[in-house]
Amino acid sequence: MSAASPIPAAVKSVETRLFIGGEFVPAAEGGLIPVYNPHDNSLLAKVAEATPVDIDRAVAAARAAFPAWKRTTAAERGRLLLKVADAIEADAEYLSELETLDTGHPIRDTKGLDVPRTAAAFRYFGGIADKVRGTVNPVDNGFLNYVTREPVGVVGAIVPWNFPLLFTSWKMGPALAAGNTVVLKQAELTPLTTLRIARLMAEVGIPPGVVNIVPGYGHSAGQYLAEHKGINKISFTGSTVTGRKVVAASAGNLKRVQLELGGKGANIVFDDAPLDAAVAGAAFAIFHNQGQACIAGSRLLLQESIADAFLEKFLGLAWSIRVGNPLDPQTEMGPLTSPGHRDRVLSYIGIAKEQGSAVLLGGGPPNDPALQAGCYVMPTVVTAQPGDRVCQEEVFGPFVSVTRFRDEAEVIDIANATEYGLGGGLWTRDLQRGHRVASAINTGMVWVNSYKRVNPGSPFGGVGQSGYGREMGFEAMHEYTDAKSVWINVDAQTPPFYKR
C-alpha cells in the first residue's frame, strides 16, 4: 500500500473511535483498522477495532437505554429521526466526499444518490414511527383482544462495504422508529461515514446508548455480535456464505434474524422493448456503483431477434463510460472498493474464458497510468450460457454476462435458474407480458421497463439464497417489532372448568 497521496481535508477531521453509550471512546484492546482510499490505495485513516470487550460494553449500553427509549412516545422518536434526516442533508457535502474517499463511489453518485437516499430513509421512518397501529380482533363474547407491536429489544446490525451510508439508514431507521436500541457493526473496509452519522445522531439528541457503533472485523467482532445473548435480533446484509454463519451463531439464544444476501439479477430484454431505454437501463443496472450491488442486473438476457441491435448500442454506451478518480464530478465509474475484491472480479474474466465465453468489452484494468495504483476494472461484457459460473456466482463488479433466448417460456426458465432470488427486470411494451413475467420471476423485487429502483416506501429483500425479511416500506416495521396479543375479560363469565 502506498501512502503517497495527501490525506484529503474531509478525512482529517473524521471520527475514528468507537461510539458507545453516547460517547466516542478508544477500543479496549487498542487495535486499529487501517482504511484505504481505493483510488490509489493510500492510507486514509486508522479506525479503532472493536473486540468482544467493546461489544459487551456496547450491548450493555444498548440494554440500559432500551426501557426508556421504548417508553419514549413514537411521535418523539419520529421527531428525532426527522432531525437526523435534516442533519444528514446539512452535512451532505462532507458525507458525500467522505463516502467517495472510503468506497470509491463517484462523487456524483454519493451526492446524487447515496446521501439523499440515506436522508430519505431516515425521513421515511421518522414519519412512520407514530403510524404503526395495532389491531382489535373479533374473539369470544365477553372478551376484548387487541394486538400491539412491541420493539424486539436490542438489534445487532451488520452491514457490508458496498453502500455503508445507505445500509446504516435502512437498518437504523426502522429499528429506532419501532423503539429498539441498536449496536451496529459496519464493514471493516468502509467504516468512516457511519461514525459521522453517530456524531450527527448525538448532536440532534438521540439519547446515549440508543445507538452504538462498533467497527470491527467480521470473523471476530461480527461473529461475537451474532452470537451475543444480549442481542434480540440480528439484521444482516452481506454475502450468503456469511449469512449462513450468522444464522448458526444466532442459535444460542434463538435471536431473530433478518438476512439481505447476494443476488444474480436477470435483466430481460424482449423484442418489443423500447430499445434505447433498455440499453441505458441495462448499463445502469450493472455499472452503477461499479457493479457492487446485490440487485445488479448481472445477467443480461436478450431475445435473439434484437440481440445484435441491442448489443451494438449497449457496447457503445459501456465503452463510453467515464472511468476515473471518483472525486472528479465527471467520473461515472470509480474504483472497486478494495484490491482483494478487484482481483476477485478480474479472476472471473479467466473463468469466463475457460468456460467458452467471448469477451465483448473490457476484461481488465484501465490503461490510464493515473489509475494504475487503484482498484479499477473496466466495464466488462462477456457472452455466457445459463449454467456457466459467471451466470451462477455473484461477481459483484462491472461485469455482465450476455445470453440470448428464443421466447418467453425459455427466458423465464433461464431467469429462475439460479439459487438467488433478489431482484430482476424486464423490458417490453406488452403490458400483459410485463405482468405475466413479473409474476413468473422468482425474486423479491421485479422492475418492468426500469431497473434498480429503490424507495424507502417499498419493501426490499429476496427469496431463496438471497435471504429473508424485508427492509424498508411498512413491512420493515413488522421486521423490527413483535406482535403482542392482550386479552381483557370485559364481562365474560368464569369458564366452567374448576368452577366450585
Look at residues 352, 360, 348 and name the one whose alpha carbon lies nearest to residue 388: 352
Contact predicate 132/178, CB 8 Å = yes
| Residue 294 bears catalytic tag | yes
Which of the following is catalytic: 49, 97, 294, 375?
Answer: 294
Contacts to ligand NAD from residues 466-495, by CB under 6 A: 466-467
CB of 218 or CB of 334, closer to ligand NAD: 218
Contacts to ligand NAD from residues 252-311, by CB under 6 A: 260-263, 294
| Residue 375 bears catalytic tag | no
The three cell numbers locating residue 85: 434526516
Give the Cα separation of 38 and 180 in Å (integer): 35
Helix intervals (H) in 256-297: 275-287
Tell me how far, at minimum, the Cβ of 491 lies from ligand NAD, in Å: 50
Give the Cα separation of 110 and 251 in Å (integer): 37
Question: DSSP states of 80-108 as a string?
Answer: HHHHHHHHHHHTHHHHHHHHHHHH---HH
CB-closest chain residue to ligand NAD: 218
Q: Kindly state whether residue 246 participates in binding ligand NAD, applying the rule CB under 6 A.
A: yes
For ligand NAD (CB under 6 A), the number of binding residues is: 30
Among 179, 238, 386, 398, binds ligand NAD (CB under 6 A): 238
Contacts to ligand NAD from residues 385-404, by CB under 6 A: 394, 396
Q: Kindly state whether residue 33 participates in binding ligand NAD, applying the rule CB under 6 A.
A: no
What distance lies between CA 459 and its chain's CA centroid? 12
Q: Kindly state whether residue 226 participates in binding ligand NAD, applying the rule CB under 6 A.
A: yes
CA quadruple 169, 130, 457, 153: dihedral sign: positive
Query: Which amino acid, one-letter code, is at 88?
Result: I
Which of the following is catalytic: 49, 97, 227, 260?
Answer: 260
Contacts to ligand NAD from residues 341-380, by CB under 6 A: none
Contact predicate 421/443, CB 8 Å = yes
Look at residues 423, 424, 427 and name the one whose alpha carbon lies nearest to residue 449: 427
Q: Kindly state whether residue 213 participates in binding ligand NAD, applying the rule CB under 6 A.
A: no
Q: Kindly state whether residue 237 participates in binding ligand NAD, applying the rule CB under 6 A.
A: yes
CB of 209 or CB of 216, closer to ligand NAD: 216
In DSSP terms, which residues pair with 20 in a beta bridge? Answer: 23
User: Which helix H or strand E contains 434, and what residues bound it?
Assistant: helix 431-440
Contacts to ligand NAD from residues 100-159, by CB under 6 A: 158-159
Give the Cα separation of 325 and 335 in Å (integer): 8
CB of 226 or CB of 307, closer to ligand NAD: 226
Give the Cα separation of 264 and 298 in Å (integer): 6
* Distance set, CA 457 to CA 110, 443, 475, 478 (Å): 21, 18, 9, 14
Give the Cα separation of 420 and 2 in Å (integer): 38
Tell me how far, at minimum, the Cβ of 433 lies from ligand NAD, in Å: 27
CB of 194 or CB of 380, closer to ligand NAD: 194
Contacts to ligand NAD from residues 424-463, by CB under 6 A: 462
Among 131, 219, 406, 429, binds ligand NAD (CB under 6 A): 219
CB of 414 or CB of 422, closer to ligand NAD: 422
Look at residues 392, 170, 423 and name the one whose alpha carbon lies nearest to residue 296: 423
Tell me how far, at minimum, the Cβ of 373 lies from ligand NAD, in Å: 22
Among 36, 69, 161, 376, binds ligand NAD (CB under 6 A): 161
Residues that bind ligand NAD (CB under 6 A): 158-162, 185, 187-188, 218-219, 222-223, 226, 237-239, 242, 245-246, 260-263, 294, 394, 396, 422, 462, 466-467
As annotated, the active-site residues are 260, 294
